[in-house]
Structure 1
Amino acid sequence: MRLLVADDHPLFRMGLRVALEREGFSVVGEAADGHEAVEQGLALLPDGVLLDVRMPKMDGIAATKALREGGYRGLIALLTTFSEPVLVQQAAYAGADAYWSKELPPEVLAERLRRLERGLEPRLRAPELPRLSPREQQVLAWMAQGLSTKEMARLMGISPETVKDHLVGLYDKLGVRNRVEALERARALGLL
């Protein structure tokens, strides 16, 4: 399996290369940032790309999206020390196949890569986006701009109580309890 490794820490990249080659993989390229990873990924077309989530110039999630938009169809695994659910969701939406801890022992990483290649390792799946009504979409957009319920009601030509009904429906579909959570979830899902 031919791999590209992208991480902004040279020692980690070197260690990962040595560990992967010891496990029988061929590391055909290295990148220090997301831009380099995209350029090399699209030029070399490796079987898999291992990306750090946090890198300069372009993070691993943006690089994943750029690789997919550029037509790359190989495996993409994000390696990170950050396990926030929002990042995992963003990785899934960008097109990543896996989101793994950098703390995995090399033999476990190698086995997961092999299983992923054979379709035996579960791939990241983006949760289904909630279906918002046009009114809920408008309320969400105005909420992101900081408008109050009364301001939204005036702009929509409806009562503040009806706006509150739309907010309740929006919160329910997003699985949240308040405006702050709604905006965070909507951003994580790419709705804003």
Structure 2
Amino acid sequence: MTATTSTIRVALADDQALVRAGLRALLQAQHIDVAFEADDGEGLLRKLAAQSVDVVLSDIRMPGMDGIAALQALRERGDATPVLLLTTFDDSDLLLRATEAGAQGFLLKDAAPEDLRDAIERVAAGDTLLQPVSTDPVRSRYRFHDDSAPVDTFSEREIAILRLLAGGYSNKEIARTLFLAEGTVKNYVSVILDKLGTRDRTRAVLKAITLRVI
């Protein structure tokens, strides 16, 4: 059963008590329950072992075990709970590392309350959100092992679909946005993955960012 706004339960991890208090207030105002809080990655993992949640909302940078290390440990023990990482623009060089560790998305710390709610709902529903992290640092600081140009050029429609993929849109949502049949979008996505030489949508978007396709 997909979680709804009134039933989503979130674990909140941040080393700053004032930040946690502010986030808790925002979440409660959006009718999202905070099941528990932790001030570091170790505390988060310990509490998650005893209590399940729908989404983990964690700061990337925390003393001791940070958000990415906690995420890696969570995945290593077989816990697939969606993780939404809190970040600032100067954290965007961690995008690829965090995504490969299993993060479902990123949220800027100064995001509007409605964006916070939307991001949590979408991640809880299984979407991946790579925006709104700045893409320029990703281009400048990360390079794929195969940094060659794509095997083919991209049409305007394919670029539009890539941008929607970067925003975490599903095939159905892309179809509705671009007034296409869902099967047509699926075919476009397959072609895009082939051109970028990857089978994974997330890595396709990251590679497209790195190679300045989008």
Task: Tell me the TM-score normalised to structure 2 length.
Answer: 0.55
Question: Matches of 1:87 and 1:5 in 2, distance apart?
Answer: 20
CA contact (8 A) 1:50 1:78 kept: yes
Cα offset for 1:68? 1.0
Question: Matches of 1:95 and 1:47 in 2, distance apart?
Answer: 15
Spell out, residue by residue over 1:34-92, the C-alpha distance to the aligned partner (whole angstroms, 9 max, x if none). Answer: 11011112221211101101101101110110111122111101002244443011111
Cα offset for 1:111? 1.1
The counterpart of 2:76, out of the listed 69, 76, 84, is 69
The one-letter amino acid of 1:55's match is M
Residue 13 of structure 1 corresponds to: 20
Q: CA RMSD in A?
A: 2.3
Q: How does 1:1-192 map to 2 (within 5 A)?
A: 1-119=8-126, 121-124=127-130, 130=145
Question: Matches of 1:128 and 1:74 in 2, distance apart?
Answer: 28
The number of residues matched between the two structures is 129
The one-letter amino acid of 1:53's match is I
Cα offset for 1:22? 1.0
CA contact (8 A) 2:45 2:74 kept: yes
CA contact (8 A) 2:119 2:129 kept: no
Aligned-partner SS, 1:66: helix
User: Aligned pair in 2 of structure 1 residues 48, 11: CA closer, same or farther (>3 Å)?
Assistant: same
User: Aligned pair in 2 of structure 1 residues 44, 61: CA closer, same or farther (>3 Å)?
Assistant: same
CA contact (8 A) 2:27 2:117 kept: yes
Question: Matches of 1:43 and 1:129 in 2, distance apart?
Answer: 38
Aligned residues with identical type, % of pairs: 40
The one-letter amino acid of 2:113's match is P
Is the radius of gyration larger for structure 1 or structure 2? 1
Structure 1 segments unaligned to the other structure (5+ residues): 132-192
Question: Matches of 1:19 and 1:84 in 2, distance apart?
Answer: 22
The one-letter amino acid of 1:122's match is T
Structure 2 segments unaligned to the other structure (5+ residues): 1-7, 131-141, 147-214
User: Aligned pair in 2 of structure 1 residues 89, 19: CA closer, same or farther (>3 Å)?
Assistant: same
